[in-house]
Amino acid sequence: MNGQVCRRRRYDDGVARPFGQILLLTGNAEYLIERTRRRAITALHESDPDCQINEVSAGDLGAGELATAMSPSLFSDASAVVVDSIQDLDEAPQAELLSFAAEPSPEVATILIHDGGNKGRGLVDKLRALASVTEIKNKAPAHAGEYVTWVRTEIREAGRNIDHDAADALVRSVGHDLRALAGAADQLVMSSQGNIDVATVRQYFGGRAEVRGYEIADAAISGRIDVALENLRWAEANNVAEVLILSAIASALRSLTSLKTAPAGMRDGELAKYAGVPPFKLRALREQARAWSVAALERAIGDAAKADIEIKGGGSDPSFALERLVLQIATARSKH
């Protein structure tokens, strides 16, 4: 609880009055962008439970549509708009955004998301110069030392202290995935007392933090079979339920299949809904899709269905069923 309160306060300190203000999220760290976006929306609902939130993808917006999305609601005293991937805005919507940002409506809160790349940099620079805009940078650490600093900051903002050696031990144990590191930091805060030292980290993460199903699914579908199997074995050692891992794999395969079979001409916002993923995940999903055919995905989904039967009682060894599924996914991918 302390961690959630402290992190929420960090957002509130940056944007004391969400309505009439614009929150600009920039950076290349997908997890941090996702987390900051989620907290910002939570803060909006806490500020006004009746706030209507309209989420749009910049690439879907034509002339006049952004201005409409940013107009005050006729059905609520407060409203908000979240514009994902503003680097994809065309010239006319860019002009509408800058005009609105120069004199934002006091009844509307705005969250803008930029991927941190060079595209749309001019728009971001213009937004930064406006008094109504507060920027939160979500940049991933670049090297091991920055990951250690990031972990220490996470835990300090949760109201606890961790020394450098302990933070280094946590990074070495968990790795450089920010989502996993944040989860490990939360676990240490909730499960231990006092200052966190190396002995505490080794007590809870002597080998490796619990591996989540999505990490195994992502590695398998992306062709990193060695990583998928390593994470799967660590998950088994940490008693992660096989059914949760299988669910993550099946969900990832279904999203990829939806993307590959989506009707032509769909806008990004429509495509994200069709695939069952947030708009910011489309880029990663498209990269994965390049290595897959629809036929290969159908084979992999069939293999996942068979594994589901075995894991839920039809087979004698659920762990073997999962390892075989990971290998089958790798085989299907290689034969696309």
The enclosing H or E element of 102 equals helix 91-102
Domains in the chain: boundaries: 2-137, 144-204, 213-334
Answer with the residue of higher pLDDT: 175 or 209.
175
Amino acid present at 198: V
Q: What pLDDT is stored for residue 211 in this prediction?
A: 53
Q: What pLDDT is stored for residue 7 in this prediction?
A: 28
Q: How far, in whole angstroms, is CA 62 from its chain's centroid?
A: 27
Mean pLDDT is lowest, of 31-35, 238-242, 283-287, for 238-242
pLDDT tens digits, one per residue of 140-188: 898 878 999 999 999 999 999 999 989 988 887 777 888 888 888 988 9
Average pLDDT over residues 132-136: 94
pLDDT tens digits, one per residue of 116-133: 889 999 999 999 999 999
Question: Could you say which DSSP state residue 175 is in?
Answer: -
Q: What pLDDT is stored for residue 10 in this prediction?
A: 36
Bridge partners for 56 per DSSP = 83
Average pLDDT over residues 47-72: 86
Closest CA to 184 of 152, 226, 221: 152
**pLDDT category of residue 11 using cuts at 50, 70 and 90:** very low
Dihedral sign computed on CA atoms, order 31, 32, 35, 36: negative
Give the Cβ contact number of residue 41 at 10 Å: 18
Answer with the residue of higher pLDDT: 241 or 23.
23
The enclosing H or E element of 111 equals strand 108-114
Geometric angle at alpha carbon 65, from 71 and 20, rounded to 5°:
30
Domain 213-334 is of which CATH architecture?
Up-down Bundle (1.20)
Geometric angle at alpha carbon 295, from 291 and 301, rounded to 5°:
90
Average pLDDT over residues 68-91: 85
Q: Are 147 and 153 in contact (CB under 8 A)?
A: no
Does 1.10.8.60 match the CATH number of domain 144-204?
yes
**pLDDT category of residue 76 using cuts at 50, 70 and 90:** low
Q: Which residues of 302-331 are buried (b: 16+ CB within 10 A; e: fewer)?
A: ebbeebbebbeeeeeebeebbbbbbebbbe
Is the pLDDT assigned to residue 302 strictly greater than 70?
yes
Q: What pLDDT is stored for residue 15 in this prediction?
A: 39
- Which fold is adopted by the domain 2-137? Rossmann fold (3.40.50)
Dihedral sign computed on CA atoms, order 269, 273, 275, 281: positive
Q: What pLDDT is stored for residue 191 in this prediction?
A: 83
Dihedral sign computed on CA atoms, order 28, 51, 64, 285: positive
Is the pLDDT assigned to residue 248 strictly greater than 90?
no
SS3 of residue 25 by DSSP = strand
Q: What pLDDT is stored for residue 4 in this prediction?
A: 27
Q: Is 18 exposed, middle or buried (0-12, 13-18, 19+ CB in 10 A)?
A: buried
Bridge partners for 79 per DSSP = 52, 108
What mean pLDDT is reported for the chain?
Answer: 84
